[in-house]
Chain A
């Protein structure tokens, strides 16, 4: 995923207030977006690899409520304290991070 990254770096930014959980974005860009159990997007925070940029643009254009954007990473985090991930130890209670779940379920 790190390969082939050139040009301006862009990240996905979702307007959480605007988002109504249609889920279109996750269908068009499963490499970067998964849905939580209520249908709201969980986005990867790293820059979009160049080869996925066209799909990211398509996802942005297809959002029914225009809640998805491509943004300069510096712009998204301006003035915001870094997100403090709560210090829980998932290993201790045997729960995988939801962000690790694959968007597509393979047969068992």
Chain B
């Protein structure tokens, strides 16, 4: 499979320099008409890679229509999902591709301000992005005397750009939380609407866009939507970065959308089907037999009740217990609540505690049934999607590990090979 986002020098070499980047890909096309670029993105079918999968072209268009030259672009590289590493690696190795996308976005939506929001724990990514910004500033200064600056020159636009470190936390990358942090230093989600594209940073229409989406936009602007659509095996075209864990060859890889989970497993050294967590802690479990023929395609996965999310494909380690793993995830998610909405604060904690009891073989008589009740009662009752994502995950665990939950709950027995016969 041809790499696109990850094309170029080995990732182990660290950040690609501005010179190397320009030599490899050439400059961004100069003088791009904003409307034409947005139309190109819409035709490409590029979907956002932050997790929600919203069409990128449509998002840019809705910000552009409100901007009046005063919009803000917030490049989101917070990546709070513990199982995902794609954004931090992308920023650490291809910072200029991301910055190209940022500049294009700023020009296309009519931005007068740019914020690059990078998870503060992603040290390499922060360093690479900040160096890349400096490289471009120097390049612009150097050439100003000769040609004059401008978007599309690849030398950095004159729009003020700030690099902001996102606080560690699952919710701090949520788009309203990101805007809230930039505005008020508080990385907790806020009640929407208004959504950031209506009123965001400093009250201005704000394009909050994941860094991988921006990198894709930089390639589409160069090579066109037809080129982008050459990749992709199913309904959704293009390629995507995925983070694989739990496999002999785990790590970051780029796939054509529509590649089956079984194929990804084979590439990563897994022979036979086993349960897999898709989309990360916001996604859910799939049973191995059901998952293997499934295509990694945001549209078809959504239709099947699953989610591509931010591209996490996490296989259950051989011998690991799905109940115990789920209980750990629930505990993490309950702890990740921004502690603002009652149903999230109390509901997720109740679910996490009950699933921990069941996992330990100390479940109360009706713990599993009560979990189902809480799932129903919490649905749709958070300001952000964190509780919905978490209960969706829990519900998938109850489906996929139905027998294991039953064994833990009713027989106080863990049947996983590493569970030593007794619930841990």
Are B193 and A16 within 8 A (Cβ)?
Answer: no
Chain A nearest CB from B188 CB (Å) reads 8
The reply to whether the CB of B30 lies closer than 8 angstroms to some CB of chain A is no
CB-CB < 8 A to B279: which residues of A? Answer: none
Would B375 and A19 count as touching, CB distance under 8 A?
no
Report B51-79 residues with CB < 8 Å from chain A CB.
52
B342 proximal to A (CB < 8 A)? yes
Q: Are A38's CB and B342's CB within 8 A?
A: yes
CB-defined contacts of B341 to chain A, threshold 8 Å: 16-17, 19, 40
B391 — which chain A residues lie within 8 A by C-beta?
86
Q: How far does the Cβ of B355 sit from chain A's closest Cβ, in whole Å?
A: 14
A40-B343, A79-B197, A93-B369 given; A16·B376 CB < 8 A: no
**A42 CA / B373 CA spacing, docked (Å):** 13
Q: Which residue of B lies closest to A78 (CB)?
A: B193
At the interface with chain A, which of B15-23, B34-42, B117-125, B378-386? B378-386
B305 contacts partner chain A, Cβ-Cβ < 8 Å: yes
Give the shortest distance, in Å, between B44 (CB) and chain A (any CB): 21
A84 within 8 A of B: yes
Interface size of B by CB at 8 A reads 36
B395 with A87: CB separation less than 8 A: yes
Q: A18-B191, A93-B372 are in contact. Are A87 and B381 (CB under 8 A)?
A: no
What residues of B have a CB within 8 angstroms of the CB of A84 in the complex? Answer: 305, 388, 392
Task: Indicate which residue in B192, B382, B383, B392 contacts A86 across the interface (CB closer than 8 Å).
Answer: B392
Set of chain A residues within 8 Å of B383, measured between Cβ atoms: 15-17
How far apart are the CA atoms of A20 and B391 in the complex, in Å? 22
Q: Is there an interface contact between A17 and B376, defined as CB atoms closer than 8 Å?
A: no
Q: Which residues of A contact B346 (CB under 8 A)?
A: 37-38, 40
Residue of B whose beta carbon sits closest to that of A43? B381
Measured as residues with beta carbon below 8 angstroms from the partner, the interface class of chain A is: 20 to 34
* Complex Cα–Cα for A94 and B330 (A): 23
In the complex, A15 Cα to B384 Cα: how many Å? Answer: 11
Out of A76, A80, A90, name the residue touching B376 (CB < 8 Å). A90
B287 to chain A minimum Cβ distance, whole angstroms, is 14
Task: Tell me if B144 is interfacial: C-beta within 8 Å of chain A.
Answer: no
The answer to whether A95 and B191 touch across the interface, beta carbons within 8 angstroms, is no
Q: Is B340 an interface residue (CB 8 A)?
A: yes
Asked whether A85 is an interface residue with its Cβ less than 8 Å from the other chain, the reply is: yes
A sample of 16 cross-chain residue pairs with beta-carbon separation below 8 angstroms, ordered by A number, consists of A15-B191, A17-B189, A20-B342, A38-B347, A39-B342, A40-B346, A75-B193, A76-B193, A85-B380, A93-B368, A94-B369, A95-B369, A95-B372, A97-B376, A98-B373, A99-B376
- Interface pairs A-B: 9 shortest CB-CB: A86-B395, A40-B342, A16-B341, A83-B380, A38-B346, A98-B377, A17-B340, A16-B383, A88-B395
Write the residues of chain B forming the contact surface with A, with a CB cutoff of 8 angstroms: 52, 189-193, 195, 197, 305, 340-344, 346-347, 368-369, 372-373, 375-377, 379-383, 388, 391-392, 394-396, 398-399
Q: Give chain A's interface residues, CB within 8 Å of chain B.
A: 15-21, 36-40, 42, 45, 75-76, 78-81, 83-88, 90, 93-95, 97-99
In addition to A83-B380, A99-B376, 16 A-B residue pairs with Cβ atoms within 8 Å of each other are A16-B341, A16-B342, A16-B382, A45-B380, A78-B195, A81-B52, A84-B392, A85-B379, A85-B380, A86-B392, A87-B395, A87-B399, A88-B372, A88-B395, A95-B373, A98-B373
